[in-house]
């Protein structure tokens, strides 16, 4: 009997869910990944992609000695999606489907997956690992005196988040019960909405308004703390220019970027805000990636780097990997022993898994940093390159 899990909200998969997928056992495991379209005529391409991938998966199951009827039954919940029009109209950038006897899960995710169908003894999770890299996602805070919105973004998509106890506006934070101060707020907000400067009759009045904005921003920061306290993802601020330094003073999140998106974000479409934020954040993320490659190259010959999968697998299991770079595509089939030792095979054999998957998952679980790169960006022609902690 198949247990169907509801599709996860777009953009979300927890570390615990990743581990559960990687450690799931029992029967052949089918992992299917494909790019999807959010809207328009191009959505018709996605079910065609799925149909082709299902054909590949079924052929591999049968080649692995599964009866054709059993293979068709196992893949039946996935095949039912081919003609589900509404399903294809509610997609993100990529779709991940995992099927095994008694297990079925599908996730809409903000990643443009390559078309891939893998049948093995374990789920193939490497395409999901990009969600756990340094450049996988970032947070965007769009704030004005009249509105506050928080988004979790990737390069390709954004998801607005509901944050507990987050004030809805400056008035909500400070002046909800004071009619006179609400009148002052409306006057100040009218100036801010037009992106003009704020003018005051005295330095004391200017200082008072700055203090009130600081209190407002501190409340926002405190609400964000519950969301971001375990995070290391960058936070980009979208606000009128003169509010950026005030928010920076109120902020306690260590990963707020110094540069932000300038201009009043109120009423601006989330897609436009995310696009502008990505232009701010991309150079920082590319620099982190380049620094990882440069550090690997600088440490070569010291015993603190390796591009050998057997050594990386062993040291990843021991928690010695500080930074791991893996190629986005390519599979290394083999068996991993309890001590991390591996036996590689040119073609998958019963009991095999993707050794690159194993190395990456162990590195993430042991607190290592992970970068998923195109092969041309890798510091070596290998599928993986590691820098060790010691």
Strand 353-354 relative to strand 261-262: parallel, antiparallel, unpaired? unpaired
Give this prediction's pTM.
0.64
The chain-wide mean pLDDT, for the chain, equals 85
pLDDT tens sequence across 327-363: 988 888 888 876 667 888 888 777 777 889 889 888 8
pLDDT confidence of 185, banded at 50, 70, 90?
A: low
Q: How many CB atoms lie within 10 A of CB 347?
A: 6
What lies within 8 Å, CB to CB, of 158 at 6+ separation is: 140, 151, 152, 270, 271, 273, 274
The per-residue DSSP string of 5-28 comes to PPPBPTT---HHHHHHHHH--SS-
Report the alpha-carbon distance of residue 35 to residue 54 in Å, rounded. Answer: 14
Contact 331, 125 (CB under 8 A): no
Tell me the H-state helices in the chain. 15-23, 45-63, 68-79, 85-88, 170, 179-193, 203-228, 244-250, 270-299, 309-318, 355-365
pLDDT at 4: 34
Tell me the backbone φ, ψ of residue 142, rounded to 5 degrees: -105, 110
Measured CA to CA, the distance from residue 290 to residue 297 in angstroms comes to 11
Question: What does the alpha-carbon distance between residue 121 and residue 100 come to, in Å, rounded to a whole number?
Answer: 9
Evaluate if residue 176 carries a pLDDT over 50. Answer: no
pLDDT number for residue 202? 60
pLDDT at residue 178, as a whole number: 52
Q: What are 14-30's pLDDT values in tens digits?
A: 777 888 888 888 889 99
Statement: residue 226 has pLDDT above 70: yes
From the list 7, 33, 12, 5, the residue with the least C-alpha distance to 87 is 7
Local confidence band at 65 (pLDDT 50, 70, 90 cut-offs): confident
Lowest mean pLDDT among 15-24, 104-113, 260-269: 15-24
**Is the pLDDT assigned to residue 187 strictly greater than 70?**
no
What is the three-class DSSP state of 219? helix
Domains and CATH numbers, the chain: 15-130 (3.30.960), 138-285 (3.30.420), 300-388 (3.30.1330.30)
* Predicted confidence (pLDDT) per residue in 229-249, tens digit: 878 789 999 999 999 999 999
Q: Is the pLDDT of residue 32 over 60?
A: yes
Region 200-206: mean pLDDT is 64
What burial class does residue 268 get, using C-beta atoms within 10 Å of its C-beta: 0-12 exposed, 13-18 middle, 19+ buried?
Answer: middle
**Bigger pLDDT: 357 vs 95:** 95
Contacts of 170 (CB under 8 A, 6+ apart): 145, 146, 185, 189, 212, 213, 216
Give the pair of three-digit tokens for residue 168: 């809805």
Alpha-carbon separation of residue 330 from 138, 198, 215 (angstroms): 27, 57, 52
SS3 59: helix
Average pLDDT over residues 26-38: 90
Of 104, 28, 103, which is closest to residue 65 (Cα–Cα)? 28
Determine what percent of the chain is predicted with pLDDT higher than 90.
45
pLDDT of residue 9: 36
pLDDT of residue 336: 80
The label of the residue with tokens 């068996």 reads: 335
| E strand or H helix at 106 | strand 103-109
């Amino acid at each position: 009997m198949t247990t169907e899990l509801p599709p996860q909200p777009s953009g979300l998969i927890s570390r615990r869910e990743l581990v559960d997928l990687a450690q799931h056992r029992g029967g052949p495991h089918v992992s299917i990944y494909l790019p999807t379209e959010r809207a328009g005529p191009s959505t018709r391409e996605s079910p065609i992609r799925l149909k082709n991938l299902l054909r590949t998966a079924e052929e591999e199951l049968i080649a692995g000695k599964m009866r054709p009827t059993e293979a068709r039954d196992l893949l039946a919940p996935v095949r039912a999606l081919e003609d589900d029009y509404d399903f294809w109209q509610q997609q993100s950038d990529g779709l991940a489907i995992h099927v095994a006897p008694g297990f079925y899960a599908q996730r809409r995710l903000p990643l443009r997956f390559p078309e891939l169908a893998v049948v093995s003894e374990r789920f193939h999770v490497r395409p999901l690992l990009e969600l756990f890299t340094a450049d996988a996602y970032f947070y965007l805070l769009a704030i004005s005196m009249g509105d506050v919105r928080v988004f979790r973004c990737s390069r390709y998509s954004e998801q607005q988040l509901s944050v507990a106890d987050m004030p809805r506006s400056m008035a909500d934070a400070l002046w909800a019960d004071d009619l006179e101060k609400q009148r002052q707020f409306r006057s100040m907000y009218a100036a801010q909405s037009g992106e003009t400067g704020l003018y005051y009759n005295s330095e004391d009045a200017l200082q008072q308004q700055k203090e009130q904005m600081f209190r407002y921003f501190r409340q926002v920061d405190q609400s964000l703390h519950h969301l971001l306290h375990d995070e290391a993802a960058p936070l980009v601020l979208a606000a009128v220019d003169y509010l950026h330094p005030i928010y920076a003073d109120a902020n306690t999140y260590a990963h707020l970027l110094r540069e932000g998106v300038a201009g009043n974000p109120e009423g601006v479409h989330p897609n436009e805000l995310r696009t502008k934020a990505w232009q701010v954040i991309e150079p920082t993320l590319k620099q982190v990636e380049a620094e990882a490659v440069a550090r690997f190259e600088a440490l070569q010959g010291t015993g603190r780097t390796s591009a050998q999968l057997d050594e990386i697998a062993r040291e990843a299991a021991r928690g010695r990997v500080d930074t791991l770079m893996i190629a986005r595509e390519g599979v290394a089939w083999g068996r991993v022993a309890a001590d991390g030792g591996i036996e590689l095979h040119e073609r998958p054999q019963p009991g095999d898994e993707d050794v690159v998957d194993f190395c990456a998952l162990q590195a993430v679980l042991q607190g290592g940093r992970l970068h998923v790169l195109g092969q041309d960006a890798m510091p070596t022609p290998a599928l993986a390159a590691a820098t060790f902690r010691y």
